[in-house]
Amino acid sequence: MPDSKYTKYLLNESEMPRAWYNIIPDLPRPLSPVLHPGTKQPVTPDDLSVLFPMELIKQEMSPERYIEIPEPVREVYRLWRPSPLYRARRLEKALDTPARIYYKYEGVSPPGSHKPNTAVAQVYYNKMEGVQKISTETGAGQWGSALSMAGAFFGVEIEVFMVKISYQQKPYRRSMIQAYGATIHASPTNLTDAGRAVLAQDPDSLGSLGIAISEAVEVAAKSEGTVKYSLGSVLNHVLMHQTIIGEETLLQMAKADDYPDVVIGCAGGGSNMAGLILPFVRERLNRGLDTRFLAAEPTACPSMTKGIYTYDFGDTVGMTPLVKMNTLGHQFIPPGIHAGGLRYHGMAPIMSLLHEEGIIEAQAYGQTSIFEAAVLFARHEGILPAPESAHAIRAVMDEALEAKEAGEERVILFNLSGHGHFDMGSYDAYFAGKLVDYEYPAEAVQEAYKELPQIDEASFAPAGDD
């Protein structure tokens, strides 16, 4: 049995991991290649250089298992890392469960989420290659906040396209982005061809991450090299930068003398969940463990539970490279739920492959049930979670109650990826009974599937891939 005295497990700065973990060489089978949006053939580094600095392109394609974290990045990380691991003892008592619940808390970062783990790294590598401006998108505003902070630290200009519904719901997130010195727009805008095309079809469009990505990519692609693009989720190098979360947590679980039976994260594009679970997936594969991994996603945008595993664009207009992933179709516009960070049509290729291989399970939840879980968590643990993180909390509570019903011990670990201090309008709507549970809009997805690109995978499938 683990030591029962402690609630918080800390690491000192000297124990902070010195390398990110790249799961690519440890995957059960190779990832399908990234394809050029025009030729539909595997991309080259030169193809990607329009959007990304070469060092990030190398990381995206790297076969190396570990990538050293540069000291200037570690220096910034020390502002909040290592982040704490908590034992949720009061929640355990409230649920009257024999389960032991742990959570890694990423809300201690200055912008209040896990996003700076990759934002700082991406801006650093852009700065080292002489980039002066970066364009990006943001859903709930967590990524935009993180990249804006990193831009301020390294002296790089940031331009943010924020999904319009979140821009309206979360005014203080956009104020934070402006406080860090970035420029922000409510997407779709009239500033880009992509935005104008969307508004021509739907002048009242609430936007989506896919649309905002199209606008940000267009700004970079038309800049003739003076502007690069940055993405806060989905891509391999983004997930890799987040693995510092899981590497720290492994050390902290050892201090707790415990190990998880199930590891849970909310999932939109996949970055926060991947950051926690990928080092544990490595341990499962290398040590023959039976650890379970559970992705919690919204019923309104269920890319893993309802999507299909195929090639698709990462954006709405079709400007980005094609990746093989779980997708609802790049033309799918999800309803305006309050967990803006989970309103994305696709899932990271790494996470999608692990789901296809049966290593990751997935479950979808309605937003009223996740706010119910968030409030219960706040009343017993004190932290008010972001709506995105509340999906993971809902899954944790269900697991803990299952353990109670079965009369068995179960060690549950999850990533509390951010606080909800900028989401009070969402909580107000919940307390006023105004939240609506949007179910999977099957007809809208079927329409979006009609626009999926037709790809002949047999011409470039890696050996052993079916």
Residues 231-289 have pLDDT tens digits of: 999 999 999 999 999 999 999 999 999 999 999 999 999 999 999 999 999 999 999 99
Q: Does the pLDDT of residue 61 top 50, yes or no?
A: yes
Distance CA 285, CA 151 (A): 37
Q: Are 423 and 400 in contact (CB under 8 A)?
A: no
Domains of the chain: 8-17+68-112+241-459 (3.40.50.1100), 22-67+115-229 (3.40.50.1100)
Q: Please tell me whether residue 424 adopts helix, strand or coil conformation.
A: helix
Q: How confident is the model at residue 339 (pLDDT cuts 50, 70, 90)?
A: low
What does 111-175 look like in DSSP terms, one character per residue? TSBSTHHHHHHHHHHHHHTT--EEEEEESSSHHHHHHHHHHHHHT-EEEEEEEHHHHHH-HHHHH
Look over the chain and give the mean of its residue pLDDT values, rounded to a whole number: 93
- 144-158, 204-218, 350-364 — which is least confidently predicted? 204-218
Per residue in 396-427, pLDDT (tens digit) is 999 999 999 999 999 999 999 999 999 898 89
Q: What is the pLDDT of residue 179?
A: 98
CA–CA dist 408, 102 (Å, integer)? 17
Residue 289, exposed/middle/buried by CB under 10 A (0-12, 13-18, 19+)?
middle
Residue found by looking up tokens 């982005």 in the block: 177
Degrees (nearest 5) of the Cα angle 232, 236, 237? 65
Flag whether pLDDT at 345 surpasses 90.
no
- The whole-angstrom separation of Cα 293 and Cα 299 is 19
Give this prediction's pTM: 0.94
DSSP 325-363: EEES-TT------S-GGG--SB--HHHHHHHHTTSEEEE
Give the confidence band of 465 by pLDDT, cuts at 50, 70, 90. Answer: very low
Q: Tell me the one-letter amino acid at 331.
A: Q
Whether 4 shows a pLDDT value over 70: the answer reads no
Residues 430-464 have pLDDT tens digits of 999 998 888 877 888 888 888 899 998 877 755 44
- 97-120 pLDDT, tens digit per residue, is 999 999 999 999 999 999 999 999
- The single residue listed with the structure tokens 């590497």 is 247
Q: Please, is 156 exposed, middle or buried when counting C-beta atoms within 10 Å of its C-beta (0-12, 13-18, 19+)?
A: buried
